[in-house]
């Protein structure tokens, strides 16, 4: 009988504690006493699917099988069985196995995994992983149907991880552009959320990010990490004339070369040299 | 008098990069004033510049070479040939200046600067080398709209049979890493692809200043922490921005899954056969371990799966190391010559297309007719201003003699810091 594996958002911390406590055991790579040749794959699958086996042995079986997926023809004979085993693991009581299975499946755009994750986001009582992790797994497929849920979660959630992952999903959603721009400009938002917004806006609308970067660099009241993010974006992706043609910007960057922290000085010097200011 | 010195037989500045391999050079008189007779004797010396490094000279592409070199140069402007090769690597460009002086004279009659550009262990890069590399990677990625998308989109399930599980695994990935490296060098010629020596600790690679810090034994959902000044924070190679990667081991130590280099090198036994050696690709039973696949699954995140692995820039550090191991084995066993049976795995009937010595490799050949995949991203393999091999549509056989040991023209233009010529 399947154990109750439903997870709530609060399970994330517990899952992490569990992982930490098992780290040393997992790192030892226990011997699985596998046979030679392709029979080894079958044996590893049996260990992986057996809930009576120890977690380290099941983790090692999963590690070996996933490593073997990189050898195409040899693994083809068991590939379908491996996918089926991963789909079962999605409901396993062990959080590490559940997460790794969801990760492997999501990276292959597996329909079952995506549907399960979406169901958990719509109905938290059915969630197998935290909403932040669910969004992270769904972010591998822009067509997984997670974008509207991501927008809702970003607005409603207080969980930093959820909002950060929602921004990543929103980065492929043109309907989220305005929300991302607003967040980037909002000083009440945490710096890391604003920085992720910068990356998301860069993906959606690079020109808008450059416009913001100029404002951020000129604004002496912005936190240093935000100014550094703006300068880095400018240094890497702006065209030279946009910087050299802005007298106020040139002056500000010139000031930064001699004032401020070492990081800001290095950035200002780098941008001066690269763009020949 | 004046002379012009050409590296890689090219007057172009972008061709002034050398490796451990013998590099053809030439010198010619551009202003004969002061030359008595039909030729001048020129002595070539070297001086280390800011980037450091050193070279050796020789008349022919053989032997150990010497720190200086004298040769006769015709007065009429005809070129005289000589060869150089790197002995110690540069850390920046330029690294070495060659100065020509007429015998007995102190004044230079010509100079040229170059860089000894070598693939290094990523943990040994200077901060400057590291920062130039990640800036170049970020620029090439260009918010997910650049050519990097072609690389990420090539190493996917539909193209996997071209690259994995068969004898072409090592040659294909050698070309793949080289293609990316040359694209990066087109942006900044001073960069070379470093390698992640995953059977050794490499903590400095997984820091906010380099490839980012994930969560130990995290679920593979952590967007790695990058410093505010790290341009990789704008990385986008899949639908979502950011690099997602959690280590399944303590990065203060070595990844526990991959075999040690010493053990992996023995896989070619018995017989030092390529057929045996290529078992580094995926787990060998009953031992459970390998060199390549286990490195991929040392982390949770895109790097652990074929469809997404190349979205993570770590992929190229990892595969550079796999390629380096092949290079070490080739050097140990003398397996550069494809006419030597043990250097490859030729069989009858032939391997699947794309995995035989005479086959061109996808996607660079542009072939999209079955059994090849129905797409080919990125065009032909990037050309180098320094060398002509392996060509725009490389065959499997073009990816063995990477330092031109068998034939100088096979030189692919890269070397590893710990694999001598």
Express each pLDDT in A143-171 by its tens digit. 999 999 999 999 999 999 999 999 999 99
Q: State the ipTM, two decimals.
A: 0.91
| 3-state SS record for A144-204 | CCCHHHHHHHHHHCCCHHHHHHHHHHHCCCHHHHHHHHHHHHCCCCCHHHHHHHHHHHHHH
User: Cβ–Cβ of B219/A74 closer than 8 Å?
Assistant: no
pLDDT of residue A130: 96
Global confidence as pTM: 0.93
Please give the Cα distance from B161 to B168 (Å, whole number). 10
Q: What is the pLDDT of residue A17?
A: 52
Kind of pairing, strands B108-116 and B17-18? Answer: parallel
Question: What are phi and psi for residue B256, nearest 5 degrees?
Answer: -80, -20
Residues 6+ apart with CB under 8 A from B36: none
* Per-residue exposure over A84-119, b if at least 16 CB sit within 10 Å of its own CB, e if not: ebbbebbbbebbbbbbbbbbbbbbbebeebbebbbe
Average pLDDT for chain B = 95
- What's the rounded mean pLDDT across residues B303-322? 97
A216 touches chain B (CB under 8 A): no
Average pLDDT over residues B319-347: 97
Band of the pLDDT at B336, cuts 50, 70, 90?
Answer: very high
The arithmetic mean of pLDDT across residues B102-128, rounded, is 96
pLDDT at position A106: 97
Q: End-to-end distance of chain B based on CA atoms, in angstroms? A: 36
| Assigned token pair, A195 | 């920085």
Q: pLDDT (tens digit, 9 = 90+) per residue, B160-198?
A: 999 999 999 999 999 999 999 999 999 999 999 999 999
- The answer to whether the CB of B33 falls within 8 A of the CB of B3 is no
CATH 1.10.1280.10 in chain B, residue ranges: 122-410
Where in chain B do CATH 2.60.40 domains reside? 2-116
Among the partner residues A27, A70, A171, nearest to B306 by beta-carbon distance: A70
Query: For A70-79, B77-86, B103-112, B216-225, which range has the lowest pLDDT when averaged over its residues?
Result: A70-79
Residue A19: its pLDDT value, please? 53
Cβ–Cβ contact A204 with B under 8 A: no
Determine, for residues A199 and B306 on separate chains, whether the beta-carbon distance falls below 8 Å: no
- B241 to A202: CB separation less than 8 angstroms, yes or no: yes
Q: What does the pLDDT read at residue A270?
A: 86
> Do A107 and B302 lie within an 8 Å CB cutoff?
yes
The CATH homologous superfamily of the domain defined by B122-410: Di-copper center containing domain from catechol oxidase (1.10.1280.10)
Q: Which of residues 90-149 of A touch B (CB under 8 A)?
A: 95-96, 99-100, 103-104, 107-109, 129, 132-133, 136-137, 139-142
Average pLDDT value for residue range B253-273 = 94
Name the percent of chain B lying above pLDDT 70.
99
Whole-number pLDDT of residue B143: 64
Low-confidence ranges of chain A (pLDDT < 50): 1-9, 11, 21-26
User: For A173-222, what is each residue's pLDDT tens digit?
Assistant: 999 999 999 999 999 999 999 999 999 999 899 999 999 999 999 999 99
pLDDT score at A12? 55
Q: Which CATH class is domain B2-116?
A: mainly beta
What kind and span of H or E run contains A22? helix A11-27
**Using 50, 70 and 90 to split pLDDT, how confident is the model at B286?**
confident
Residue B406 has pLDDT above 60, yes or no: yes
Residues of chain B above pLDDT 90, percent: 93
- A-B CB pairs within 8 A amount to 202
For chain A, the structural domain boundaries read: 1-137, 205-277
Q: Is A259 helix (H, G, I), strand (E, B) or coil?
A: coil
Lowest mean pLDDT among A211-220, B39-48, B143-152, B306-315: B143-152
Burial of B337 (0-12, 13-18, 19+ CB in 10 A): middle
In the block, tokens 């008098």 appear at B1
DSSP state of B376: -
Q: What confidence score (pLDDT) does residue A8 get?
A: 47
pLDDT (tens digit, 9 = 90+) per residue, B231-244? 999 999 999 999 99
Whole-angstrom CA distances from B6 to A159, B386, B387 are: 61, 11, 14
């Amino acid at each position: 009988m399947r154990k109750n594996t439903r997870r709530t958002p609060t399970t994330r911390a517990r899952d992490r504690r569990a992982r930490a406590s098992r780290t040393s055991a997992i790192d030892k790579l226990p011997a699985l006493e596998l046979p030679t040749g392709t029979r080894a794959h079958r044996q590893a699958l049996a260990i992986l699917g057996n809930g009576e086996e120890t977690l380290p042995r099941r983790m090692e079986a999963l590690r070996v099988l996933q490593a073997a997926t990189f050898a195409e023809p040899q693994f083809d004979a068991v590939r379908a069985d491996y996918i089926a085993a991963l789909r079962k693991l999605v409901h396993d009581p062990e959080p590490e196995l559940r997460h790794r299975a969801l990760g492997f499946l999501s990276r292959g755009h597996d329909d079952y995994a995506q549907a399960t994750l979406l169901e958990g986001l719509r109905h938290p009582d059915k969630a197998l992983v935290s909403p932040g992790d669910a969004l992270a797994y769904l972010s591998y497929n822009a067509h997984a149907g997670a974008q509207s849920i991501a927008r809702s979660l970003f607005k409603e959630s207080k969980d930093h991880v959820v909002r950060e992952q929602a921004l990543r999903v929103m980065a492929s959603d043109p309907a989220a552009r305005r929300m991302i721009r607003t967040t980037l400009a909002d000083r009440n938002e945490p710096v890391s959320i604003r920085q992720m917004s910068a990356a998301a806006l860069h993906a959606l609308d690079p020109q808008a990010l450059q416009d913001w970067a100029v404002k951020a660099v000129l604004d002496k009241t912005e936190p240093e990490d935000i100014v550094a993010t703006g300068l880095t974006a400018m240094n890497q992706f702006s065209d030279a004339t946009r910087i050299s043609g802005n007298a106020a910007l040139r002056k500000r960057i010139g000031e930064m070369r001699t004032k401020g922290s070492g990081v800001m000085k290095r950035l200002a010097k780098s941008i001066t040299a690269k763009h020949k200011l | 008098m004046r002379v012009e010195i050409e590296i890689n037989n090219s007057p172009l500045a972008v061709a002034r990069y050398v490796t451990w391999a013998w590099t053809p050079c030439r010198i010619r008189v551009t202003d004969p004033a002061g030359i008595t007779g039909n030729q001048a004797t020129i002595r070539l010396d070297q001086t280390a510049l800011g980037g450091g490094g050193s070279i050796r000279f020789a008349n022919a592409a053989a032997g150990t070479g010497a720190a200086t070199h004298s040769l006769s140069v015709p007065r009429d402007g005809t070129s005289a040939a000589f060869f150089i090769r790197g002995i110690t690597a540069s850390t920046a460009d330029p690294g070495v200046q060659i100065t020509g002086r007429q015998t007995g004279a102190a004044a230079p009659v010509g100079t040229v600067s170059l860089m000894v550009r070598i693939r290094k262990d990523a943990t040994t890069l200077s901060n400057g080398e590291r920062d130039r590399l990640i800036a170049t990677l970020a620029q090439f990625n260009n918010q997910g709209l650049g050519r990097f998308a072609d690389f990420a989109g090539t190493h996917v399930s539909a193209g996997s049979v071209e690259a994995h599980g068969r004898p072409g695994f090592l040659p294909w990935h050698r070309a793949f890493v080289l293609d990316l490296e040359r694209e990066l060098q087109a942006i900044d010629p001073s960069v070379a692809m470093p390698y992640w020596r995953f059977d050794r600790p490499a903590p400095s690679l997984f820091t906010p200043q380099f490839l980012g810090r994930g969560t130990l034994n995290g679920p593979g959902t952590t967007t790695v922490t990058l410093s505010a000044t790290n341009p990789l924070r704008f990385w986008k190679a899949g639908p979502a921005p950011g690099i997602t990667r959690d280590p399944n081991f303590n990065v203060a130590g070595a990844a526990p899954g991959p075999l040690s280099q010493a053990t992996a090198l023995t896989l070619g036994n018995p017989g030092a056969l390529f057929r045996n050696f290529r078992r580094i690709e995926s787990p060998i039973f009953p031992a459970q371990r390998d060199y390549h696949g286990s490195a991929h699954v040392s982390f949770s995140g895109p790097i652990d799966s074929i469809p997404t692995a190349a979205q993570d820039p770590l992929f190229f550090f990892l595969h550079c190391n796999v390629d380096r191991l092949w290079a070490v084995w080739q050097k140990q066993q003398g397996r550069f010559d494809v006419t030597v049976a043990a250097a490859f795995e030729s069989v009858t009937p032939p391997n699947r297309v794309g995995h035989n010595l005479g086959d061109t490799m996808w996607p660079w050949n542009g072939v999209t007719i079955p059994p090849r995949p129905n797409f080919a991203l990125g065009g032909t393999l990037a050309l180098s201003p320094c060398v002509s091999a392996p060509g725009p549509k490389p065959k499997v056989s073009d990816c063995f003699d990477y330092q031109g040991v068998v034939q100088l023209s096979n030189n692919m233009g890269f070397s590893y810091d710990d694999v001598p010529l």
